[in-house]
């Protein structure tokens, strides 16, 4: 009989998981002729995930487009996929991030057998 290893339990015992605040948002069309949209933020949800920095070299060749330095990879359980798809803002510590979207409004989510990897980019005020 094959024994399964619970990687999330190991990461939690080693204190490698970080609390991530996920703010889901709903987009509604205010004016259908001018395509104006309004964004209403919901109450945040707290998830535990493995957070890693994305290196500068990975930003240039691995992820297309311009991503600000300071972007992160969030590795979390697959059960949080719909929560991440509905999110507009993600807070890790005091820094605010947004989910990386490509030109077709798709999310930069890499799905594996037991987990998902989400690329979040640093929100720059301006």
Q: Read off the CATH number of the domain in which 99 is found.
A: 2.40.10
33, part of any domain = yes
Q: Which residue has the tokens 């939690």?
A: 12
pLDDT, residue 64, reads 52
Instruction: State which H helix or E strand residue 30 sits in.
Output: strand 18-31
pLDDT tier at 18, thresholds 50, 70, 90: very high
What is the tally of structural domains in the chain?
1
In a domain, 103, yes or no: yes
pLDDT mean across residues, the chain: 80
Q: Is residue 90 part of a domain?
A: yes
- pTM for the whole thing? 0.77
Q: Give 14's pLDDT tier (boundaries 50, 70, 90).
A: very high
Who's near 50: CB < 8 A, 6+ residues apart?
Answer: 11, 16, 17, 18, 74, 75, 76
Q: Which domain holds residue 105?
A: 7-122
- Which range (12-16, 33-37, 47-51) has the least confidence? 33-37
Q: Is the pLDDT of residue 75 over 90?
A: yes
Helices (H), 14-126: 56-61, 81-85
Min mean pLDDT across 32-36, 51-55, 90-94, 122-126 is at: 122-126
Residues 100, 63 contacting (CB under 8 angstroms): yes
- The predicted structure's pLDDT at residue 20: 94
Within-domain flag for 2: no
pLDDT value at residue 47:
93
């Amino acid at each position: 009989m094959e024994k399964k290893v619970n990687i999330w339990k190991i990461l939690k015992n080693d204190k490698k998981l970080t609390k991530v605040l996920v703010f889901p948002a709903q987009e509604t069309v205010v004016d259908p002729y001018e395509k104006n949209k309004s964004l209403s933020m919901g109450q945040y949800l707290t998830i535990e995930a493995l957070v890693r920095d994305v290196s500068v070299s990975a930003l240039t060749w691995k992820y297309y487009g311009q991503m600000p330095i300071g972007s992160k990879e969030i590795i979390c359980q697959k059960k949080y996929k719909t929560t991440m798809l509905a999110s507009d803002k993600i807070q890790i510590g005091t820094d605010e991030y947004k989910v990386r979207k490509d030109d077709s409004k798709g999310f930069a989510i890499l799905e594996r057998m037991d987990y998902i990897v989400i690329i979040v980019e640093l929100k720059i005020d301006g």
